[in-house]
Structure 1
Amino acid sequence: MTMKHFGPTKLDASLIPKIARQWGTPVYLHDQEYIENSCERLLNMPNAYGLHVRYAMKANSDRTVLRVVTNKGLDLDCSSLDEAARAFAAGVPYSRMMLTTQEVPSGEERAELEQMIRAGLKYNVCSMTQFQLIADFAKNNNIDLSIRVHPGANGGGESATRDTGSEYSCFGVHLNDVPQVKALADKQGLRFTQVHVHIGSGGDPEKWRENIDRELGFVRTYFPDATTVSFGGGLKVARMPGEKQADITALGAYAAQRIKEFKEATGRELQMEIEPGTYVVANSGHIITRIIDKKLTNELNFLIVDGGMELLTRPLLYGSEHPIAIVRQDGTLLSSEYDAKPTAGLKSFGIVGRCCESGDSVRLDNDGNIVPVMIAEPEIGDYVVIGGTGAYSESMSPENYNSHRKPPAVMRTRTSELVLIRKKQVREQLVLNELDVKL
C-alpha cells in the first residue's frame, strides 16, 4: 500500500509541494488541531484541588501560536520582559502571565516591570538579588510573590544542557538560600503564595516524581502561605520512533495523591500548576526544505537542503534527533522515519544545510560528527521534511547566520485550511538597524 500520511499530525504528503509552490522553501508548518489536542490533554490531567496550566512561551512565541494556546485555556510563563510584552501585543493580558527570568531589570525596564505587575503579571523570584530589588515595591503595593527554588538535584533533563536543577545550573533561589530569603520576606510582611521548581526538559519521568516529593517537602517546611505548587514543565515528548512519551495521566495521578497526602498531614489544600512548552507544540511542527544539491565523499553521500542550523539548532546544541520524511516533487511520500516506513530499499545520506558551518546537519553524534540517516533516495528538487520542530526551532535559532533570511510560517487550521502566519523576512530587514557610519 502506498503511504500518503506521515508523522504525529498525519500530514498529507501531497500538501508539501503545494505549500512549497505557494510560499517557497524553507518554510515552517504548524498544526492547530494537534496543538489544541495537546492543550486539552494537559487540562484533563488528574489533580487533587485544581490544576493551572501555563504554556512556556519560549518554546514557540509566534502570536498565532500564543492565541491558539491561550484560547484553549492555558496561561503563559514568560522568560523575559520582552516575551511578556510580545504576548501582550498578541492580545494576552498580563494577568494571564508569570515572569520567570534570569533578568534583573533596571532603569526603563524596571519601570516597565512594575507596570506589568500592577496590571496583574505574577513575578516569580529567581534570585536573592531579584527579591531584594522587588521587595519594597511588592510591600508598598500589597503584592504576593512566587518563588522559584533551585533544588540542587540533577537528572531532570535529557542532556546536561537541558538540566536546570543540578548544581551546574543556576535557575532559581538555591535551597540553601531559601531560609534567608524567607526570613527577609517575613520581616517585610511579604508572602510567597506560589512555589515553583523546574528541573529540566525531556528527562526521566521518575525524576519528575522525585521533584514532586522534594518540592512538597520544602513547601511544608518553609512556605506556610503557599496555595499553589508548580512542578514546572519538561514533559518528555516522543519525537522519534522508539522514544517513550511522558504518561501525563500517571504523573498527574501521582501528583494528586501526594497533594492529598500533604493536606492530610498539614490541613492545607494546594492547587497544582505545570508549565510545559515542548509537550504543547513540538510534534505539531515540521520544517519543509528542498534538496538543492547532492555530493559524495569517500565516506558519505550528502544531500544539501535549503534550510539547516539557521532554522533548527537543536541537533547542534543538544544532539537532538528529529524524524525525516522524503517527499517527491509530485507529492509522493517516499519514506518516513517517524512511521518507520518503508523498512527496505533505504540508503544512507548525511543531510546538511547551506550554512558555512561543519555542524550544519539534521543529525550529529556527541562529538559533533554528522550521522547519516536511512531514507529513500531522493532527487534534487525533492523535499526533506523535518519533524518535531514546533518547539525550540524558530524561537531559538540564529536565522540570520550567513545573512539567511527568516522563512515564513504556515498554520494548518482545524478545518485543514493553510494560512500564512508569518511572512518571510525581506533582505532590507537584515540591515534595518545598522547605521551608515563613516570611519
Structure 2
Amino acid sequence: MSLLPELRYPTVTELVWSARALAAQRPGDCRLWQVGVSRAGRPLHVLSVGQARRAVLVVAGAHANEPAGGPAALAVARRVLAEPELRADTSWHFLLCADPDGASLHVTPAPRSLFDYHLGFFRPAGAEQPEWAPAMLPPDRLPPETRALTGVIDALRPYVQVTLHGTDLGGSWVQLTKDVPGIAEPFAKSAAELHIPVETGASDAAGWPASGPGVHVMPAPGAGAAYPSMPDDARLSTWYHAHRYGGLTAVVEVPMWASDQVDDPAPHPAPAAAMRRLAGRLLRQSRAVDQVLADALPRLDGVGGPLLRAATWGLELVPGLAADWIHTRPADDTKAYIGSVDAFSRRLPLRAAAMLLRVLRETDDRAAPRLERLVEAWSESFAERFGARWVPLEHQIEHQARTIVAVALHARVRAG
C-alpha cells in the first residue's frame, strides 16, 4: 500500500518564520507577538491580522501529533489578508502552536505509513496538554502553555475560538460548545470536494447531539458522560473558557489518512456485543504493552521524561475505558460509531507502545525489537482494517482553512 505524502508538515520554527514574513510584508495589517513561553522556554507566538475589537481566535498545535493545524492557520491568515471584507469588522488571531515542547517530540514530518508515523509518535499525558490540563489539575498547577492560552482568550474575548485538531486515520468532524446554525452544509461541501469522508459517529463526540452530519454540539449540563471513566470534561477545558465572554469554541478535526468506512449511518446489528468485543481486544493489547513495560522498568531505573509519562498515562486509562464499553449502553448504535470506537480501541495501546518503543530504543533496551514488531503489526492491521488512503497535505490544510472561515462567518451571524 502506497501512503507516500507529497509534502511534509512544517516545524514550529518554520511556521514562525512564515508568520514573521507576513508581518513584515503587511506591517499595517499584521502583528506577530509572543504570548508566553513553554515549560522548556520555547516562545508561544500569535499572528494577528486586523485591528477590530470583534475577534476570532484560531488555535493550532494543541496536540503534538496533529500537525496540519499550523499551516491551516497560516492559510487562513493569507486569505484574510487577501480578502479585506473578512477583516473589515473582525480581527483574526492565530496561535501558531499551543504546545511547542510537544511538537519538538513528535518527529514524523512526512510519514509514509502508519508504522512510520508511530515510530516518531508523541502525545503528552493529559495533564500536560494545554487544552485539557484545566480538567485535570488545580489552577495553581496549570502549565504555562495553558496560562498563555487562557490569557489570550481573556485579552481578546473572541466571539469564536476555533481549535485545530486531527486524527491519524478516519474522517473529518466538528465539535461545537454551542450550536452554529448553517455550518454543516459548507463543512460537508468542502469535505466532498476534497474527497475527505465525514465521520458521522466520531467516538470523540460520543454523547454529543448532531446538528448535521459530522457536526456535534456539546450536550446540555447534566447529560451523562458516554465514557464515565475518562478525565476529559470539555466544560473544564480551555474550550469552555471563551464562554466567559459570550463566545464559543469549534473543534475542527481532519484526518491524515482517510477511511471510507466511517460514515455509515446504518444501525449496527449488535452494537453492545461489538463494544464488548472491542473492549476485550483493548485489554489484551494493552496487557501486551504492560508486560513489556514491566519487564523493562527495572532496566529503566532513573529514566523518565514525557515519552514514558505519556505511555504510562495512556495504559492507565484502559481498564476504566474498557469497563465503560462493557457496562455502559453504547452512545450510538450506528456502524459509523462502532467503527470509530474500533479505531479508538486500536489507537490507545498502539500509541502507548510506540512511545515506549522510543524510550527503549534510546536506552538500547533488549525489549525494543519485540515491541517494534507489535507496533508494526498493529499499525499495518489498523491501516488494512480501515482501508487507509493518504489525504494530500494540501487537502488537509484546505479543508481546515475553509471550515475555519465558515465557522467564523456563521458564528458572527449568531453573535449578532
Compute the TM-score of the two structures, normalised by the length of structure 1: 0.24
Structure with greater proportional strand content: 1
* Higher fraction of helix: 2
Which has the greater radius of gyration? 1
TM-score under structure 2 length normalisation? 0.25
